[in-house]
Structure formats: C-alpha cells, structure tokens
Amino acid sequence: MPWTVEDVEKHNKGLTDKQKSQWVAVANSALKKCMDDGGTEETCAVSAIKQANGVLVNEDMGVYNTPATEYEIRSAKLHKRKHIVVPVVMMVEGVHSGNHGAVYHSANELQKFVDSWNGIPVVIDHPKKDGVHVSANQPDILEESVGKVFKTTFDNGKLKAEVWLDEEQLKEISPMAMAYIKEMKPLDVSVGVFTDQELFDGQWNEEKYNTVARNYRPDHLALLPGGRGACSWNDGCGIRVNSNNDNKKGGNAMSDVKISPCCLAKIEQLISNKHTRFTDDDKEWLLLQEESQLDKLFPVETTQEPVQVNKDQVAEFFKPASKLEDFTVYMPDALKVQVNTGMEMVKKQREEVIADILANSGEVWKQEELEGMNSEMLEKISKTLKPIANYSAQGAGAAGGNSPKIKPLRAAGN
C-alpha cells in the first residue's frame, strides 16, 4: 500500500480503467484518513477496501457517506402507514472522500437548492444493477425503498433533514437497520447525488482536495447499517440530533461508539469458511453480534485424524451378531424400517412354502427339517411335488362330481 490500478482486480473485478482509477483514489484516501484518525494499517485497509467497493461507479453520480448515533425517534402517519421519523445530517461543509476522491463541499453549494432534497427515496445500501451503482428512482428499486427525506434545511454548515421510514417496510427489507434505529446504535447514511465536478487543487481547514462539487441534483439517501462513512460521525454527519450540540444528549457523549473493523474481517471469514453455512445473506445478522459471539461461531479446530474403516474390520465387528436386530441397531431409522419390512415379507413367504410342502408330501418331510433349510432349497423341493388328490368330498350321484378342495401349489418365487 498505497494501492495502484494493478491491485484493483484483487478486490473488485470487471471495472473499466477509469473506474479502477476512481477505486484507487477512494481506497487510498480512505486509508489515509483512517490511519490519521489513529487506526492501524490492517484494520484501516479492510475499511478502505469496503468503501472503495461500495462507491458508485456511475460517472456522474457522487456518493458521500455519513454515520449516526444517539437521536430522538417519533412516530407519524404517511399514506395511512406508520412511519418512524428520525433526524439526519446528510452532509456538512468540508472535504469528503466519495467515489470521486477528495471533494470539497462548500456551504454555498450545499444551501443553493435545499428543497431539491425533499422527497428523495431512502434505500438500504446504494442500488446496483449488474454490479454497477444506479439511480434509485426506478420502479423496481423504489419497490425496495424504505422511506423518504423531508424538511431539509441548511444550518450552521450542515445539510439537515428528517428521514421518514416505513416501519413495516424497514422491518422486512433490513431488520438490522431497524434494530440500529430502535437501539440508537451508530448508523451510517450516504447520499447519492449528481454534481458538476470542477477540478481544482485546494485546501480547507488543513484538508487537501482536488475537486469541488457544484450544482447538486439529489437522487437518494442510503442507510448503511454496519458500515462507516467517508463523512464520519466526527465530521458531524449521520442520523443524529439536529442541534448545535450534536455530540451530546443528556450530557453523555456518544462520538466514540463505533463498530470495530475487526468484526467486519471476522464476518467475512465466517462467510468464506467452508465449515460454516453462513452466506452473504447472513451478514446483517452477523453485524449485530458482539465480537465475543462471533468468535464462538467459528468451527472448533481439531488435530484428530478421521477414522478409516475397511470391510474386513466391519465383518470382524459383526461376527458375534446372531440376530437381525444385532445389525439393524446401527442403521438409520428409515433404513431400519425398510429392512424389517422386507424381512417380514421373506418370513411370510417361507411359511407359505413350508405349508405347501407339508400339504403335498405326505409324511416325507417334517416341519423342523424344512425350517432349517434356506429359501432356495425350499423352493426347489416345492417345485418337485404334485398336489395330493382328495376325492373324499366327491358325491356318486352328482354330475361330474365336485372338484377336489386342495390348496393349489403356489409357484416358487410368487
């Protein structure tokens, strides 16, 4: 590190050369900012890569992230549906690293068309199609939106508003975002906005920038539960108290509440571990867990080698077995039922063959002898015998007599 365009394919495939350059600018800027704030290179690299992968690659739309923490919640009705209303600081004057690198957002530009922010959709994460970030104002994407922005104002260098969230929709689309808001946990937001980009190298409050954003055309506001924005909580952004004393409520500072970068790395490890069943769909739930809980979800490592058993060992194991139950006890229940059912059928078939032989062989065979034979031998004997005729029931005066009432010999194998 720092990253170059040759490194991009390792973290985000399929980007154009221009998009790769944007990725490098965002990643390196985010890495530097994180390390300047006291983070380690390892943890900051994870955060920087995530930010670079999450930015909009639309050439005209910019995205600038902001986090949030403690705030007040109220309920209201919109279109006869219950909504949760929370305050938000969408942007503050200053230098923020979005997908266009370090960009200066001036107070003059932010307050030009304040009303244009009202009514923009609120979504969970920035919408994508075929891996490319797109506008949220499309029918299929609006179906997945969770609310709207209202009552936008610009005050004391901050672009403030209210976020009206459809409670049922938010529960369905992102239970984690709902949990964050209900529990007032740190929650990032990120604006998707079209701007005119003026290339200009400058400095604002000791922060350098190479671009100035002008003529904002707002598209959407994204909630980013579990993430960290380029316009950070310390910068004064996010869903939070809209006052001049944003960092405090009831005298308790909340600016140091963060999601540890270590947890993001552990969650990725859990999802990629072939010995777990976690997928990307579980990421929201995993982000809600404490680090100690995540540690417990990893498979227990063992050095014990798997036991290898061959057929001779199996045969030796079953040598003492004398009954069918000695074998079936080790079978799964479903297989055990099938085997027992089959054995009942075999038993019934043998009983019928033995009965036929005894009925048609006179006193040649005894039952004990037949029961000691295998089924194949019994069938062979059955085939050699003819039914013994019984004329005891035939009347002298009846025409043609009565047919002998002899049990017909069952064909072998039926």
In angstroms, the first-to-last Cα distance of the chain is 80
- pLDDT grade for 240, boundaries at 50, 70 and 90: low
Is a pLDDT exceeding 70 seen at residue 404? no
Among residues 230, 244, 272, the alpha carbon closest in space to that of 155 is found at 244
Q: What mean pLDDT is predicted for residues 214-220?
A: 91
pLDDT at 283: 73
Please write the tens of the pLDDT for every residue from 65-109.
555 545 678 889 999 999 999 988 888 898 887 656 788 999 999
For residue 95, give the 3-state DSSP assignment.
strand
Higher pLDDT: 197 or 98? It is: 197
pLDDT at 325: 72
- pLDDT grade for 62, boundaries at 50, 70 and 90: low
What percent of the residues of the chain are helix, what percent strand, and what percent coil, each to the nearest 5?
Answer: 35, 25, 40
pLDDT at 84: 92
pLDDT at 254: 24
pLDDT at 219: 92
What is the phi/psi pair of residue 15, to 5°? -85, 150
Higher pLDDT: 294 or 387? It is: 294
Please write the tens of the pLDDT for every residue from 153-180.
999 889 999 999 999 999 888 888 888 7
pLDDT at 116: 94
Please write the tens of the pLDDT for every residue from 27-54.
787 788 778 777 888 778 877 776 666 5
pLDDT at 303: 58
Flag the least confident range among 124-138, 216-230, 308-322. Answer: 308-322
**CA–CA distance, 233 with 37 (Å, rounded to integer):** 12
pLDDT at 322: 66
pLDDT at 120: 96
pLDDT at 221: 92
pLDDT at 163: 94
Is a pLDDT exceeding 90 seen at residue 360? no
Query: Model-level pTM?
Result: 0.47
Please write the tens of the pLDDT for every residue from 314-355.
777 777 766 777 777 777 887 888 888 888 888 898 898 888
| Mean per-residue pLDDT of the chain | 76
Q: What mean pLDDT is predicted for residues 226-245?
A: 55
Is a pLDDT exceeding 80 seen at residue 357? yes
**Alpha-carbon separation of residue 256 from 37, 232, 248, 253 (angstroms):** 12, 11, 11, 8
Residue matched to tokens 């705030």: 71
Higher pLDDT: 57 or 290? It is: 290
* Angle at 107 (CA atoms; ends 29, 246), nearest 5 degrees: 80
Higher pLDDT: 207 or 330? It is: 207
pLDDT at 265: 73
Half-sphere exposure of 129 (CA within 13 A, CB side): 8
For residue 196, what are the β-bridge partners?
Answer: 214
pLDDT at 58: 39
Q: What mean pLDDT is predicted for residues 221-242?
A: 64
Q: What mean pLDDT is predicted for residues 370-391?
A: 79
* Angle at 61 (CA atoms; ends 64, 151), nearest 5 degrees: 60
Does the CA dihedral 63-109-71-262 come out positive or negative? positive
Is a pLDDT exceeding 60 seen at residue 260? no
For residue 147, give the 3-state DSSP assignment.
strand
Q: Are 374 and 323 in contact (CB under 8 A)?
A: no
**CA–CA distance, 24 with 117 (Å, rounded to integer):** 30
- pLDDT grade for 396, boundaries at 50, 70 and 90: very low
